[in-house]
Amino acid sequence: MSTVKVWFVTGASKGFGRIWTEAALKRGDRVVAAVRNPTSLGELVDTYGESLLVMPLDVTDRDAVFDAVKHAHMHFKRLDVVLCNAGYGYMGAIEELAQEQVRANFDTNVFGTLSVIQAALPILRAQGSGHILTVSSIGGVIGFPTGGSYTASKFVVEAMSEALAGEVAAFGIKVTIIEPGQFATGFQSAVQTPSPIAAYDPIRQAVRSSFKPEDVGDPAATAQAILKVVDADRPPLRLALGSSTIMKIRATYAARLGNWDKWEPVSIAAQGNQHG
């Protein structure tokens, strides 16, 4: 590592957010940790002192997000890494989903991410540098049955981030989408679910059975991957985390290409002939 980086991390109190926050601090970086419950990071404050600024934040409060990012910039005088990690799962079959719960899920996963990005961009553009990391999921690439609004929200994060990357590259700002697979972060224990419809139980069970224990990764091992990405001169637009994640994504893209190839004559015919 060369220079000390200043991070702004949402959802920093547990799971990946906590692990990546601690990894940044451990190597000498400075971190603004935005969390719902500031006391959850008391141990890190005791250990890292002035290198860590803990701020209470609910990313669904847009005004609070802008205030937090502004305060973070004033405190450390710059922002180098903006890590949009706050999010949670609301999973069920599409017919089962409660609309208000879907809205709440999108408020955090999508609009919370959007608010953080929009708050940070003027600062990063003025600096002529910065790296925005948005946390998606294998569920942002593969819309598995009973993935509910969680996978839908992560597809949105992927599209938004891809568009963002093309918009801000000329300003010296980098964008990377993080796509974790299954990791032992405790994420599943916090997943919300709607009232089940019995007709979907066999599908639900089949999906659960498709996730193998050997596919579950060690979340601590992801820290070095994240540090490598933020230190890279030319970081990737997408970084999948986990060996089984790569395998599943590759198989999914192969199936999509096969689908488009099979129906290519129909697709070409749909172009019509404007010149004939």
**46 C-beta neighbours (distance < 10 Å), count:** 9
Helix (H, G, I), strand (E, B) or coil at 77: coil
CB neighbour list of residue 146: distance below 8 Å, 6 or more residues apart: 91, 92, 93, 200, 203, 204, 207
- The catalytically annotated residue of 154, 161, 174, 248 is 154
Give catalytic status of residue 150 as yes or no. Answer: yes
**212 is known as an active-site residue:** no
- What 3-state class would DSSP assign to 48? helix
Residues 6 or more apart whose Cβ sits within 8 Å of residue 227: 1, 23, 24, 27
Catalytic residue check, 243: no
Q: Residues 13, 51, 115, 136: which is the catalytic one?
A: 136
Q: Residue written as tokens 């709440």?
A: 104
d(CA 140, CA 150): 9
Burial of 222 (0-12, 13-18, 19+ CB in 10 A): buried
Element (H, E) at 165: helix 148-168
**Of the listed 48, 90, 149, 150, which one is catalytic?**
150
Active-site positions? 136, 150, 154
